[in-house]
């Protein structure tokens, strides 16, 4: 059995980077030194000022730095900024042009895979395909909460992929779409910040109630869930801080069955190993790694899993490097037990 | 996200026509300048009218109205934005500053309308120095 390759997205270290505590170059070096690769994923609009324009000589310096750190480029996170303008969404032609500039940057930087987002429709994906071929890139549509494999947008892409039959188009599962419960550290952190237990319990109960309902199939249902959480916040005397617990729970923590990723497994070109907590037993309490990794291994997936720690949205005490390292240890333990069984 | 980082510590200056301060983007990546849909500033509880505020990134100041149409320029996530306000500044070496920053998240359209994320930050700060 050849397991998937591990790696990390620098997004995991956002609090340090945003605080100007570590530069982009520092982070690459540290990922190498601490053995958090080999796969390296970067969000273009985060790490590179002026992206998708690249300063002269930047790409060569970047590739040397990655080589020196003993890392391998896994995926460039592009953004489908359909809402670039205030007055209207971009037209299809504008969005193709916007994505194409990022594809060119990915090629120049040496990334094999580009993450795209759901404003790119099946038609636009098809229009980008010849460019992916020309630039030797694979395009992966991220499946992120509140979407799921059965969402009409994803199903429409899947149909198009099957018709086009190109290995250069695929999906990037984000494990945040298939959580089994709210991250325990979320509730703990806000309890420590003084948010009343009654409100925290109400948010949790509402998330659990959503969990028992059918998955979101359109944006109107998502809007209704945002409103439901805001109502709970108001009814129980919450403020503009506590409301985020509720609204983030709709936006970040999806309700898909983790075993349902199997439905799109042949089309997986990269994985976002999104996680929030590591418990006392070294397990992830909300993202069942035994199931998530088992199904990737069973499908023979040998690409990268980019560890993506997002607990920093509320957790300001745990060190992101240590969290990523702990998730890698968990992944390696699961791989070892799968190999032994 | 990062609401406490919006107002840059120690950045308040009194200018000949008012005051200025530095602000950070409460988000993880660069956004187009036009994503700044709301920028409310108040000093000691006195809220500045929108047309008294200018916003500078990449060395170029613009009015808030002009910022909304500026989608070619981007506000990089590590860069300070400079907010200048034309106002009477009350006497005293320390002031309470409040900033409410609403940014459009351009890749998260819900039913055709991008998500707007609004964060509020309040800090009491000493005046750094008198800028020109």
User: What does the pLDDT profile of chain A (341 residues) look like in tens digits?
Assistant: 789 999 999 999 999 999 999 999 999 999 999 999 999 999 999 999 999 999 999 999 999 999 999 999 999 999 999 999 999 999 999 999 999 999 999 999 999 999 999 999 999 999 999 999 999 999 999 999 999 999 999 999 999 999 999 999 999 999 999 999 999 999 999 999 999 999 999 999 999 999 999 999 988 888 899 999 999 999 999 998 899 899 889 989 999 999 999 999 999 999 999 999 999 999 999 999 999 999 999 999 999 999 999 999 999 999 999 999 999 999 999 999 999 98
Selecting from B5, B28, B107 the residue whose C-beta is nearest the C-beta of A11 gives B28
CB hemisphere CA count around B18 (13 angstroms)? 17
Known catalytic residue at A313: no
Distance CA A10, CA A310 (A): 11
List residues of A whose CB lies inside 8 A of any B CB.
Answer: 11, 14-15, 17-20, 43, 45-46, 49-51, 79-86, 89, 117, 119, 219-220, 222-223, 240, 251, 313
pLDDT attached to residue B132: 47
Nearest-CA distance A18 → chain B (Å)? 6
Distance CA A12, CA A308 (A): 5
Distance CA A142, CA A271 (A): 9
Whether residues A84 and A156 share a domain: the answer is: yes
Strands B36-43, B31-32: parallel, antiparallel or unpaired by DSSP?
A: unpaired
**What ipTM goes with this model?**
0.94
A50 neighbourhood in chain B, CB within 8 Å = 74, 76
Residues in Cβ contact with A242 at an 8 Å cutoff, skipping those fewer than 6 apart = A190, A195, A199, A233
Selecting from B28, B71, B118 the residue whose C-beta is nearest the C-beta of A46 gives B28
Q: How many domains does chain A have?
A: 2
Q: Please state the domain extents for chain B.
A: 3-126
Q: Inter-chain contact A83–B110, Cβ cutoff 8 Å?
A: no
| pLDDT single digits (tens) B7-41 | 999 999 999 999 999 999 999 999 999 999 999 99
Whether residues A139 and A80 share a domain: the answer is: yes
Whether residues A259 and A238 share a domain: the answer is: no
Q: At what angle do helices A243-252 and A219-235 cross, to 10 degrees?
A: 160
Question: What CATH code is assigned to B3-126?
Answer: 2.60.40
A295's enclosing H/E stretch is helix A289-298
Mutate to test the interface with B, among A79, A86, A242 (most CBs of B within 10 A): A86
Instruction: For the beta carbon of residue A290, count every other beta carbon within 10 angstroms.
Output: 15
Q: What's the CATH code of the domain at A272? A: 3.20.20.150
| pLDDT single digits (tens) A258-304 | 999 999 999 999 999 999 999 999 999 999 999 999 999 999 999 99
pLDDT attached to residue B130: 56
Domain end residue (candidates: A249, A282, A300):
A249
Selecting from A45, A50, A117 the residue whose C-beta is nearest the C-beta of B29 gives A45
Tokens of B24: 């950070």
Residue A321, φ and ψ in degrees, nearest 5: -65, -45
Distance CA A239, CA A196 (A): 11
| pLDDT single digits (tens) B74-129 | 999 999 999 999 999 998 889 999 999 999 999 988 877 888 999 999 999 999 76
Nearest-CA distance A339 → chain B (Å)? 38
B76 neighbourhood in chain A, CB within 8 Å = 49-50
The alpha carbon dihedral of A165, A169, A172, A177 has a sign of: negative
Choosing from A18, A131, A144, A272, the catalytic residue is A144
Distance CA A305, CA A36 (A): 11
- Chain A residue with CA closest to B117: the answer is A244
- Residue A167, classed as helix, strand or coil, is coil
Domain end residue (candidates: A197, A229, A249):
A249
B106's enclosing H/E stretch is strand B94-110
Query: What residues make up the domain containing A201?
Result: 184-249
């Amino acid at each position: 059995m050849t397991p998937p390759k591990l790696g990390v997205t620098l997004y995991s270290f956002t609090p340090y980077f945003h605080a100007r505590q570590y530069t982009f170059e520092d982070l690459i070096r540290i990922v190498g030194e601490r053995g958090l690769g080999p796969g390296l994923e970067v969000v273009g609009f985060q790490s590179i000022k002026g992206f998708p324009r690249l300063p002269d000589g930047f790409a060569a310096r970047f590739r040397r730095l990655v080589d020196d750190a003993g890392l391998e480029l896994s995926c460039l996170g592009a953004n489908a900024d359909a809402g670039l303008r205030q007055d209207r969404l971009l037209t299809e032609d504008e969005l193709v042009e916007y994505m194409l500039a990022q594809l060119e940057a990915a090629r120049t930087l040496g990334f094999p895979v580009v993450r795209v987002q759901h404003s790119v429709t099946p038609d636009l994906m098809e229009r980008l395909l010849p460019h992916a071929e020309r630039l030797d890139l694979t395009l992966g549509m991220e499946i992120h909460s509140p979407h799921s494999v059965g969402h009409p947008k994803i199903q429409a892409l899947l149909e198009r992929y099957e018709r086009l039959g190109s290995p250069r188009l695929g999906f990037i599962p984000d494990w945040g779409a298939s959580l089994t419960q709210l991250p325990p550290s979320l509730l703990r952190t806000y309890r420590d910040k003084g948010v009343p237990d009654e409100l925290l319990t109400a948010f949790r109960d509402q998330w659990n109630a959503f969990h028992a309902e059918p998955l979101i199939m359109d944006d109107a249902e998502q809007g209704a869930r945002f409103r439901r959480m805001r109502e709970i916040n108001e009814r129980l005397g919450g403020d503009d801080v506590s409301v985020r617990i509720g609204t983030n729970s709709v936006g970040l923590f999806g309700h898909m069955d983790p075993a349902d990723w199997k439905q799109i497994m042949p089309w997986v070109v990269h994985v976002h190993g999104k996680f929030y907590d590591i418990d006392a037993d070294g397990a992830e309490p909300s993202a069942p790694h035994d199931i998530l990794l088992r199904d990737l291994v069973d499908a023979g997936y040998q690409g990268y899993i980019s560890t993506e720690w997002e607990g920093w949205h509320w957790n300001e005490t745990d060190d992101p490097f240590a969290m990523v390292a702990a998730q890698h240890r968990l992944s390696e333990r699961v791989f070892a037990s799968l190999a032994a069984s | 996200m990062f609401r406490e980082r919006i107002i840059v510590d120690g950045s308040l200056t009194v200018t000949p026509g008012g005051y200025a301060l530095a602000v950070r983007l409460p988000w993880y990546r660069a956004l187009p300048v036009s994503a700044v849909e709301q920028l409310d500033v108040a000093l000691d509880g006195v809220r500045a009218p929108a047309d008294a505020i200018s916003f500078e990134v990449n060395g170029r100041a613009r009015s808030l109205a002009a910022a909304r149409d500026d989608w070619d320029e981007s506000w990089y996530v590590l860069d300070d934005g400079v907010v200048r306000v034309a106002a009477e500044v009350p006497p005293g070496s320390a002031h309470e500053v409040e900033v409410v920053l609403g940014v459009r998240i351009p890749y998260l359209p819900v039913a055709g309308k991008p998500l707007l994320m609004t964060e509020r930050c309040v800090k009491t700060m000493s005046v750094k120095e008198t800028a020109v």
